[in-house]
Structure 1
Amino acid sequence: MTRSLVFLTGLPRSGSTLLCNILGMHAQVHATPTSPLSSLVESMRQSWSQDAALLAQLDTGFEQVYRRLGRATRAFMEAWSSDTDQPFTVDKSRYWLFLVETLRELYPDFKMIVCLRDLRDIYKSIEVQHRKTLLLTFPGQLEQNLVEARATQLFAPTGTVGGPLRALANLNDVPDLRANLFFWRFETFIKDPGGYTEELLRWLGVQPATLSLERITQQTHESDSHYHFKFLHQVSPRLSAPGSFTDAHLSARILNDIVSRNAWYYRQFYRADGVVRLERDGAAPAASGTAEKPPERPASS
């Protein structure tokens, strides 16, 4: 039976766990919790790049040995995902977003789902949960008792949100990727969950099916203790719209700073016409132009 690997990635708190469990209800799809496969593939690449014997073989027979590396990597990935009867495996990892060029080298027609959400709602989700668990430290080395410091660290270039944001921006610099990517916006899903799910299934090439979004069964489980219960992954059986950042007592200054510092993100992924684009699709360059105005939801101080 032909099996297909689908890579699911994107921003934290953007609905990736929910989406995995919805896709996993389809008879043809096996969906994983956060998977180590992406980091294992990168570790292999780093390891053989430092192996003296392998480098010596590349000196004398580059094309043959390089093809062997590709075959071996694909064989490992496919063996890792072969213990299921379903023809589609959705492998979830935020790190896949950093490996798009490697994936295309291995699978020119690879398919990747990229989960997106309004950055202010991502921040709200994290900050509000932290307030419920103040007796547990915030993960990472940061001045966790300062609200602004937490936000700054989250959106820093190597932060929990900022790192994936940089990887998203990098997609603009890799040519001819658009056909490989499905940008799954959390807000679009909430507005039309059935229609949006059908659109995604068609894009994946999965047989059409009506999935019950009134009885979502959680099949994947994450280690919430690893992040000190700041990023919960519990899926509600019944789909409902979460509150927005305007429902929480968040600093308007911090929220406005998130938008202004990431204007390119709103310009590309939250356009007024609802179209999601990469720069190469004709969107304005990330370094210039005016950002699309985010939804009119005044923030509380």
Structure 2
Amino acid sequence: MRSIHFISGLPRSGSTLLAALLRQNPRFHAHMSSPLAGMVDAMLGEMSDRNELSTFITNEQRRRVLRGLFDGYYGQEMTASVIFDTSRTWCAKLPVLSGLFPDYRIIACVRHVSWIVDSLERAVQKNTLRPSFMVNFDTRGTIYNRVEGFATGEGILGYSYNALKDAFFGEHAPHLMLLQYETLVRDPAMAMAAVYDFVGEPAFNHDFDNVHFDVGAFDDRTGMPGLHAVAAKVQARGRETVLPPDIFRRFENDAFWRHAPSNIRGVRVV
């Protein structure tokens, strides 16, 4: 019987790199975001009381339907014995996942928030001739407008940040591990050893100098060429920020996971 775990967390924080590394293990399947989280949301809605026939649906039937989505999506042709499904939404779904897969683990990728905002803005500026879904294809905004959009509760950063806090402080936090981007790129061997230990799988000798992951066609279709590009060699790369100083400072203290007294659930932070 195959195991299923989840990759979630903040955008631009290493989830694609983590998936690319996990894929080196022939026993594992990992990829960029899948549609399963959206499918779970849709089915939960259809089986709720807004459907007048929901009176005929038991919670056990709901569980079977939702688990069936995973079985159907990955299918018998999926030969991997361990699946890592990726979505930033999963951090908001720990209670649901706990009812479906009692032994699951969720690895949330995190990063200094100022550098996430920098990376988002850098991606937009890199593709100035192709308005981005990340800013709702708005061509009129300034960097300040864009950052406000990123950070709202429904924004690409704000939603995932709130979902991360939901998971971090919630009762199902024992299923959660936070993997810092800074750790992953500076000491990938230690980071991956922690991941394997957390999910209870035997160690694997990863090649951190030859990482391959190509979803260029997907990125081109969304108007963000290179958005999920992964460098062949895992290493930390310094750079200057593209953000104005006031924007960079705005997010400097938002890495709550670095404040040990706040970690009331004892979440593992690597």
Fold conserved between structures, TM > 0.5:
yes
The question of whether the paired residues in 1 share the 8 Å contact of 2:89 and 2:163 is answered with no
- In structure 2, the partner of 1:4 is 3
Inter-CA distance 221–132: structure 2 relative to 1 (3 Å threshold):
closer
* 1:270 aligned residue (241, 258, 265): 258
Higher relative contact order (Cα pairs below 8 Å, separated by 6+ residues): 2
Query: TM-score, normalised on structure 1?
Result: 0.80
Q: Distance in 1 between matches of 2:242 and 2:31?
A: 35
Give the superposition deviation at 1:78.
2.5
The question of whether the paired residues in 1 share the 8 Å contact of 2:47 and 2:62 is answered with no
Inter-CA distance 123–117: structure 2 relative to 1 (3 Å threshold):
same
- In structure 1, the partner of 2:161 is 165
Inter-CA distance 194–173: structure 2 relative to 1 (3 Å threshold):
closer
- In structure 1, the partner of 2:227 is 232
- In structure 1, the partner of 2:127 is 133
CA RMSD of aligned residues (A): 2.3
Structure 1 runs (4+) deviating above 3 angstroms are 140-145, 219-222, 275-282
Inter-CA distance 220–84: structure 2 relative to 1 (3 Å threshold):
farther
Give the superposition deviation at 1:215.
1.0
Q: Distance in 2 between matches of 1:78 and 1:21?
A: 23
Q: Distance in 1 between matches of 2:74 and 2:211?
A: 23
The question of whether the paired residues in 2 share the 8 Å contact of 1:221 and 1:233 is answered with yes
* 2:213 aligned residue (191, 208, 218): 218
Q: Distance in 1 between matches of 2:231 and 2:261?
A: 28
Q: Distance in 1 between matches of 2:180 and 2:206?
A: 19
Give the superposition deviation at 1:277.
6.0
- In structure 2, the partner of 1:73 is 66
Query: For 1:70-111, what per-residue CA distance to the aligned partner results, in whole angstroms no more than 9, with x for missing partners?
Result: 123213312322332111011111121221111112223321
Aligned to 1:279, what secondary structure does the other structure show? coil
In structure 1, list runs of 5 or more residues that go unmatched.
Answer: 59-64, 283-301
Q: Distance in 2 between matches of 1:101 and 1:269?
A: 21
Q: Distance in 2 between matches of 1:249 and 1:45?
A: 41
* 2:182 aligned residue (174, 177, 187): 187
- In structure 1, the partner of 2:265 is 280
Q: Distance in 2 between matches of 1:253 and 1:231?
A: 28
Matched, 1:154 2:150: yes
Q: Distance in 2 between matches of 1:105 and 1:46?
A: 17
Inter-CA distance 277–30: structure 2 relative to 1 (3 Å threshold):
farther
Inter-CA distance 10–100: structure 2 relative to 1 (3 Å threshold):
same
Query: For 1:135-186, what per-residue CA distance to the aligned partner results, in whole angstroms no more than 9, with x for missing partners?
Result: 22243345743111111111111111111111112225521x2320111111
Aligned to 1:109, what secondary structure does the other structure show? coil
- In structure 2, the partner of 1:115 is 109
Structure ID, larger Rg:
1
In structure 2, what residue type is equivalent to 1:53? L
Aligned residue pairs total 263
Map of 1:194-205 to 2, 5 A cutoff? 194-205=189-200
In structure 2, what residue type is equivalent to 1:126? L
In structure 2, list runs of 5 or more residues that go unmatched.
Answer: none
Aligned to 1:89, what secondary structure does the other structure show? strand
Aligned to 2:129, what secondary structure does the other structure show? coil
Q: Distance in 1 between matches of 2:170 and 2:190?
A: 30
Give the superposition deviation at 1:8.
0.7
In structure 2, what residue type is equivalent to 1:279? I
Identity of aligned residues (%): 23
The question of whether the paired residues in 1 share the 8 Å contact of 2:29 and 2:82 is answered with yes
Give the superposition deviation at 1:226.
4.8
